[in-house]
Amino acid sequence: MIRFNVPPFTGKETEYIIKAVNNQKICGDGEFTAKCNQWLEEKTGTKKALLTTSCTHATELAAILADIKPGDEVIMPSYTFVSTADAFVLRGATAVFVDIRPDTMNIDENLIEAAITEKTKAIVPVHYAGVGCEMDTIMAIAQKHNLKVIEDAAQGIMSTYKGKALGTFGEFGCFSFHETKNFSIGEGGALLIRDEENIEPAEIIREKGTNRAKFFRGQIDKYTWVDKGSSYLPSELNAAYLYAQLELANEITENRMNTWNTYYEGLKDLADAGKIELPFIPENCTHNAHMFYFKAADLEERTKLIAFLKEKDILAVFHYVPLHSAPAGLKFGRFAGEDRYTTRESERLVRLPLYYNLEKEKTEYIIKCVKEFYGTV
Ligand SMILES: *Cc1c(COP(=O)(O)O)cnc(C)c1O
C-alpha cells in the first residue's frame, strides 16, 4: 500500500535527542528550543518566534493575546481544520464563516468586508496547501476596521506572498509541526509575533503566566506569577527532533517540490482535456509543496476515484467537511453570505500521497492509475 503520509526523518533527529538527554535539560526552552526559535526568526524575518506544543495551541495563545472574549466574532473560512475555529470558540467567540475562492480554496478576500459587524474582532486567513491568501487586501481591510489578523499558517512554512513569509503579515502567525506537515515532530507548532509589544505577554502566557523567560535571560533574579497563562512550550526532546529537520529545510522542501511537479506535469493532459482541475498558484505566491490535490468533477466521481486508487494500493484522501455544517459549527458559528464554493469545491477535492522521499516510481505509478481511472491510458 502506498501510504498517504510518512513523517519526514532525516537521520539526525535521534542524535540531537541524545544530545538533549546528555545536556540533562529536557524541559522546555533549552538549547534546541532556542535554536529552533532562532531558525524560525531568521527564515521568516519575524521579530519573535516561539515553539509551542501545537499549532492549535499557538492559535489559542494568539486568541488570548488578541483578547478574544465571549460575544466577539472572528472571521475565517469554513473550509479549514477544526483548530482554526476551536481556538476562538474556546474563548467564547462566534466563528463567522466566509466563502472561499474556488481557485486557491483560500478565504475570498472580497467577501470579508460584508461579514464585518460591530462585534468583529479578528480575521483568520488560512493559507491552504501553503499557498498564500491575498494578504494585501486582507491587511487593508483589517487596518480600516481596526481588526487583528491571526494567520493560520499551519501548512505555510517556507511559503511566501510577494516575497514575504506566510505567518508574518498579521499580529500573529501559527505554524504546525504535526506528523502530517512538511517538518514534523508528531505534535508541535510555533507562534510568530510581529510586534515588539506582544513578545513579553506571549512569553508569559506560554509559561504558565510567569515571567520565567525574563528570569532565564537574567533580566530579573526571581520569577513569579504575573498574569493568566497556560503551558504551551514543548519539551527539549521535541525541539531536538525538529531542529534536525529545520537544518535540512531546503532539501526537504525541494524533495517535496519535485514530487509536486511530477504530479502536476503528469496530470496536465487530464486537466487540458477538461477531466480534472489542477491546483492554482497565484503569481505573487511561492508555495512549499505541502500537498498535491486536484479536483474531480463532483462528489460521486471523487468517491469512485478514491475507491479505485485503493484497489491499486494507493491511499488518496479528501478532507475538511466544511465547519459550518459540522455539529459544533452549527453551535458556535454561522456562515456569512452565500456558500457558493465552500461545500461544492470541498466535495471535489482529492489529495494524493506526498511526503519527503516519496519514490519517483511510486509517484509515476500513481499518475498512471489516475489516468487509467479517467480512461486515458
Ligand atoms: C494541521 C493544521 C492545524 C492544526 O495543527 P496542530 O499542530 O495539529 O494543532 C490547524 N490548521 C490547519 C489549516 C492545519 O492544516
Whether residue 351 contacts residue 319, with contact meaning beta carbons closer than 8 Å, is answered with: yes
Instruction: Indicate which atom in ligand 1 lies nearest the CA of residue 187.
Output: 7
Q: DSSP letters along 142-164, please?
A: HHHHT-EEEEE-TT-TT-EETTE
- CB distance 178 to ligand 1 below 6 Å: yes
Q: Where are the domains of the chain?
A: 13-246, 249-373
- For residue 134, the CA-to-ligand 1 centroid distance in Å is 20
Does the beta carbon of 56 sit less than 6 angstroms from any atom of ligand 1? yes
C-alpha closest to that of 124 among 88, 163, 162: 88
CATH class, 249-373 region = alpha beta
**Residue 158 to residues 103, 164, 318: CA-CA distances in angstroms?**
21, 10, 24
Ligand 1 contact via 52 beta carbon (within 6 Å): no
Ligand 1 contacts CB of residue 54 (under 6 A): yes
From first to last of its 377 residues, what are the pLDDT tens digits of the chain?
999 999 999 999 999 999 999 999 899 999 999 999 999 999 999 999 999 999 999 999 999 999 999 999 999 999 999 999 999 999 999 999 999 999 999 999 999 999 999 999 999 999 999 999 999 999 999 999 999 999 999 999 999 999 999 999 999 999 999 999 999 999 999 999 999 999 999 999 999 999 999 998 899 988 999 999 999 999 999 999 999 999 999 999 999 999 999 999 999 999 999 999 999 999 999 999 999 999 999 999 999 999 999 999 999 999 899 999 999 999 999 999 999 999 999 999 999 999 999 999 999 999 999 999 999 76
CA 218 – ligand 1 centroid, Å? 34
Q: Cα of 91 to ligand 1 centre, how many Å?
A: 18
pLDDT at position 25 is: 87
Identify the H or E element spanning 204: helix 199-206
Three-class secondary structure of residue 346 per DSSP: helix
d(CA 61, CA 287): 26
Q: In sequence order, what DSSP letters do the residues of 236-296 get, joined into one string?
A: HHHHHHHHHHHHTHHHHHHHHHHHHHHHHHHTHHHHHTTS-B-----TTEE-----EEEE-
Check residue 39 and give its pLDDT.
98
For 43, counting Cβ atoms within 10 Å of its Cβ (0-12 exposed, 13-18 middle, 19+ buried), the class is middle
Architecture of domain 13-246: 3-Layer(aba) Sandwich (3.40)
Q: How far apart are CA 70 and CA 134, in angstroms?
A: 29
Give the whole-angstrom CA distance, residue 268 versus residue 286.
20
Query: CA-CA distance, 171 to 132, in Å (whole number)?
Result: 16
Q: How far is the CA of 186 from the centre of ligand 1 (A)?
A: 12
Residue nearest to atom 14 of ligand 1 (CA): 154
Cβ–Cβ < 8 Å for 340, 97: no
Atom 2 (ligand 1): residue with closest C-alpha? 154
Distance from Cα 313 to the centre of ligand 1, integer Å = 27
Q: Which of 5, 54, 55 for mutating ligand 1's site (highest number of atoms within 8 Å of CB)?
A: 55
Overall pTM surpassing 0.85 (yes/no): yes
- Beta carbon of 242 within 6 Å of any ligand 1 atom: no
Nine-digit cell string for 351: 489529495
The alpha carbon of 173 and the centre of ligand 1 are apart by a number of angstroms equal to 12
Locate the ligand 1 atom nearest the alpha carbon of residue 176 and give its number: 7
Q: How many helices (H) and strands (E) does the chain have?
A: 15, 13
Atom of ligand 1 nearest to the CA of 56: 9
Q: Is the CB of 85 under 6 A from ligand 1?
A: no
CATH topology agreement for domains 13-246 and 249-373: no
Ligand 1 atom closest to residue 128's alpha carbon, by position in its atom list: 13
Cβ partners under 8 Å of residue 311, min gap 6: none
